[in-house]
Amino acid sequence: MTNTVPTSLTSPSAWAVDVLVRNGVSVVGDPTRPPIIFGPGYGTSQDMWRLVAPQFAEGHRVVMFDHVGSGDSDVSAYDRRKYDSLRGYANDLLEIIRELDLHDVVFVGHSVSAMIGALAAIQEPRRFARLIMLGPSPRYLNDEGYLGGFERADIDALLDALEVNHASWATAMAPTLMQNADRPELAEELAESMARTDTMVAQHFARVTFLSDMRRYLKDISTPTLILQSSDDIIAPLEVGEYLHEHIADSELVVLSAAGHYAHLSDPAEIERQIRRCL
């Protein structure tokens, strides 16, 4: 009997397809130019960066991706054990970078992706030139001497509501997360994006995200870091941005005039300006 080797295991190029398809990776711009990667926040897809990322295609190789279970990713690749911590997502990011053979990466991460990018940069610092964190938080729970923004009862109630009805939770939370009440279309888009995430993945990823504690890793970040902090963000209060700035050695904190947790949707021109200034 002849053993048949699956096609996906026969060549490096086959592995490349698996990695890039798994995370719905899209690449635009000149492949000879410096790479810039945009990472989406919890429950959203790379489409959230559509008003910012394409603006860099002329001078950079722009890479966008989705976390497994969101957007155009391959939800069948979701492994609950692998993604039981943020390190599983950081490993995905590193696989994408290795597969595309990227160096001197500027990684722009929104929300939890900021911490995912930090973990990746700690693991392989030579791959990264700069980290840009939009609305990051190393810990969402309040602790002794630390204000994360939420008590444990608040997080438990949030997670319970998500597990009861994912779509209703997204609809209810979106206006608070987005702010900008005079532009309700932004909250509607956010709710639709979160509701499209696989329900099982959304529930587990939320638990991993909101119960994570990344504070002990901040001292290990050697990549120059720009922290972009919204002026009024229920998810990441100003104190969180100040804490990150204090504990990441080579960092800069910029407080944006934009309100809400999704400034790349509500004020994309300002986010573009800050990224260009950083570059």
| Phi then psi dihedrals of residue 262, to 5 deg | -130, 60
The answer to whether the beta carbons of residues 218 and 247 sit under 8 Å apart is yes
168 has catalytic annotation: no
Give the rounded percent of residues in the chain with a pLDDT score beyond 90.
Answer: 81
The predicted structure's pLDDT at residue 15: 42
Q: How confident is residue 18, by pLDDT bands cut at 50, 70 and 90?
A: confident
pTM for the full predicted model: 0.91
Q: Of the listed 261, 264, 266, 267, which one is catalytic?
A: 261
**How many angstroms separate the Cα of 159 from the Cα of each of 47, 74, 165, 175, 255?**
25, 24, 10, 17, 29
Query: What number of helices (H) and strands (E) belong to the chain?
Result: 10, 7
Chain mean pLDDT for the chain: 91
Asked whether residue 242 is domain-assigned, the answer is yes
Task: Write out pLDDT tens, residues 153-167.
Answer: 999 999 999 999 988
Asked whether residue 54 is domain-assigned, the answer is yes
Task: Write out pLDDT tens, residues 185-244.
Answer: 999 999 998 888 899 999 999 999 999 999 999 999 999 999 999 988 999 999 999 999
Asked whether residue 270 is domain-assigned, the answer is yes
- List the CATH number of the domain containing 78: 3.40.50.1820
What is the residue whose two structure tokens read 């997204």? 170
pLDDT of 4 strictly over 80: no
pLDDT of 130 strictly over 80: yes
| Domain count of the fold of the chain | 1
Cβ-proximal residues to 47 (8 Å cutoff; 6+ apart), any chain: 71, 193
198 has catalytic annotation: no
Three-class SS of residue 50?
A: coil
Residue type, 54: P
pLDDT of 65 strictly over 90: yes
Q: At what angle do helices 166-178 and 199-210 cross, to 10 degrees?
A: 50
The pairs formed by 138-145 with CB atoms below 8 angstroms and a separation of 24 or more are 138/213, 138/214, 138/215, 138/217, 138/218, 138/240, 138/243, 138/244, 138/247, 139/212, 139/213, 139/214, 139/215, 140/209, 140/210, 140/211, 140/212, 140/235, 141/210, 141/211, 141/213
The number of residues in the chain equals 279
> What range defines the domain where residue 46 resides?
7-139+215-278
Mean pLDDT of 127-150: 96
Bridge partners for 128 per DSSP: 105
Q: Of the listed 70, 73, 111, 266, which one is catalytic?
A: 111
Asked whether residue 272 is domain-assigned, the answer is yes
Task: Write out pLDDT tens, residues 245-255.
Answer: 999 999 999 99
84 has catalytic annotation: no
Asked whether residue 225 is domain-assigned, the answer is yes
pLDDT of 43 strictly over 90: no
Task: Write out pLDDT tens, residues 87-123.
Answer: 999 999 999 999 999 999 999 999 999 999 999 999 9
Three-class SS of residue 173?
A: helix
